Amino acid sequence: MNFLDLLRAGHTDYVLNDAAYTYMRDHGLPAATIALLAASPQTRFADQPAWTAFLERLGFTALAVTPNPVRVATEAALWGSVQAHEFLCDAVILSDDAGQFNIGRHALCWVHAERLVHKLDTFNDQHRAAQTRVRGLIWDFYADLKAYQQKPGKRQARALRTRFDRIFLCRTGFVTLDRLLARLHANKAELLMVLERPEIPLHTNGSENDIRGHVTRRKISAGTRSETGRDCRDAFLSLAKTC
């Protein structure tokens, strides 16, 4: 089941609206393809068969291009349905940068971001010194973000944004590290979402802990043999976690 299916909370419709078209643009669907969808007078489809038939009439299923227009358009229509039913209108989705969670207002986990720096291979003392220094700057910055959550303010937010730039635009002389820092800087809006919404967590540890039992069970048993078995496994794991 698609992550966006879960967010519809039982509704089965697919909707083409502003939220759907924004999703398509953000995920690289060509403007001509989006225009083809926007030209249709029908904007709401009752269920998956109706939506699939619509895409077939437009010739989407015959296109062998990247990104896959059927996948992106379907995800967009699902997100359009979520927004049409006024679910998650003010929510922030926090993730480890997995693409399927990059929808709506999106924030990134600082622990996963720093882990990229921590796991970077170093080859000499200069590299190791640069890595250690940058990691120290990041964790100091992280501590100040936690302090900001307790007492937010516009002045502190401006100072933290400026400091973020100094850290992630610096040049250490370690080329691989510098490229990684530039890539993290491109995620500035998601990493600093906490400055707009100080109530959100800075990491995904809570949700990862919630699903750890499921992942462990999957590693041991390699899955279930039927849908009934899957439902039983999920139900008992949920009960165990709740207790």
Per residue in 56-79, pLDDT (tens digit) is 999 998 888 888 999 999 999 998
- Domain co-membership, 121 together with 176: yes
- Domain co-membership, 118 together with 146: yes
Q: What percent of the chain has pLDDT over 90?
A: 62
Question: Quick one: residue 88, left, alpha or beta (phi over 0 = left, psi -120 to 50 = alpha)?
Answer: left
pLDDT tens digits for range 154-201: 999 999 999 999 999 999 999 999 999 999 999 999 999 999 999 999
The answer to whether residue 170 is domain-embedded is yes
Decide which of 58, 89, 120 is a domain's last residue: 89
pTM greater than the 0.85 cutoff: no
Coil, strand, or helix at residue 103? coil
Q: What are phi and psi of 98, to 5 degrees?
A: -70, 130
The answer to whether residue 200 is domain-embedded is no
- Domain co-membership, 113 together with 80: no
Is the pLDDT at 1 greater than 60, yes or no?
no
**Domain that includes residue 45, residue range:** 3-89
The answer to whether residue 185 is domain-embedded is yes
Decide which of 62, 89, 116 is a domain's last residue: 89
Of 218, 219, 240, whose CA–CA distance to 229 is shortest?
A: 218
Q: What is the mean pLDDT of residues 29-57?
A: 93
Q: In whole angstroms, give the CA distance from residue 10 to residue 81.
A: 11
Is the pLDDT at 93 greater than 80, yes or no?
yes
Decide which of 89, 122, 146 is a domain's last residue: 89
Question: pLDDT grade, residue 125 (50/70/90)?
Answer: very high
The answer to whether residue 97 is domain-embedded is no
The answer to whether residue 96 is domain-embedded is no
Look at the chain and report how many structural domains it folds into: 3
Question: In sequence order, what are the beta bridge partners of 92?
Answer: 105
